[in-house]
Amino acid sequence: MPTLDVAPGVRLWAEERGPADAPPLLLIMGANASGTTWPEELVDALAVRHRVIRYDHRDTGRSTWSFDEQPYALTDLARDAVAVLDAFGVERAHVVGLSLGGMLAQLLVADHPERVLSATLLGTGALSATPYTAPDGTRTDPAALPGMAPHVLDLFLRPVTDQGPEAELDRRVELWRALAGEKLPFDAAWFRALEQRVIEHTGHYRPSTAHAHADQSGLLRTAELAATDVPVLVVAAGAEPVYPAPHAQHLAQVIRGARLVEFPGMGHALSPQILEPLAAAILAHTAG
């Protein structure tokens, strides 16, 4: 099932891997990123025990690029995730979401708990207005929690000009270098090969910016997350530059029954060094 219709004029690319009779696991990637940004090593490790499904968001990869003609909201991307499950005939799935994908996973937990076996949230913020309570009892409003590291924000805001495919690969690798944090050695060649595969999959090297312009209203799910019965694992990355501490700790507080696991060297990028332990943590969660 390479493509599926999710809205008038909108088709998504999707694929599955692993035993057809294994418990389904849906991977939801972050903003402006193709589903092929999930590292092959991680997909293969999860597919040993799961029917793994990944897909390209709208305006990424081989899915329809139509935001300029058909603007949409981020909540529509959550509906797309449900449509992917429907297209594959999946009633309930384990869900793993990274960054924006972690927010979309929270929307599934809140709005469609009957479709979610478990959720694993990586590098994301809470869709909750509940303050964060520090170990010393200090309470902080979510809006006052630390923001994105300035050097990463600068890279995101920097205008992108077309200087050819090699220059675009250079730009993407430097962005990954910033996202990876400073605690693990950065493997530039590994990330360059990852982005080369993404570009080959997409068919062009044009970057996507649609999700940065999508309507962000209607995302809060404070009450729903506080009352959920869905088992949730929150990954706390020690070198996270986009949602630095205590975002993960806040997330684990506001989701009922959520469990926190820490990866001290991990940043916002899925660096090769953390793929094996990350897969083990996800598989332990889905098995439980």
pLDDT, one tens digit per residue, over 166-177 is 999 999 999 999
pLDDT tens digits along 31-46: 999 999 999 999 999 9
- Report the candidate in 215, 274, 263, 211 with the shortest Cα–Cα distance to residue 237: 263
pLDDT tens digits along 213-228: 999 999 999 999 999 9
Class of domain 3-146+208-287 (CATH, top level): alpha beta
Q: What is the pLDDT of the chain when averaged over all its residues? A: 97
- Report the candidate in 39, 76, 104 with the shortest Cα–Cα distance to residue 215: 76
Q: What is the 3-state secondary structure (H, E, C) of 242-279?
A: CCCCCHHHHHHHHCCCCEEEEECCCCCCCCHHHHHHHH
Domain ranges of the chain: 3-146+208-287
d(CA 95, CA 193): 26
Sheet containing 10-17: give its strands across.
3-7, 10-17, 51-55, 24-28, 93-98, 116-122, 232-237, 259-263
- pLDDT at residue 1 is higher than 60: no
Report the pLDDT averaged over residues 236-245: 98
pLDDT tens digits along 89-124: 999 999 999 999 999 999 999 999 999 999 999 999
Confidence bin at 7 (pLDDT 50/70/90): confident
- pLDDT at residue 70 is higher than 60: yes
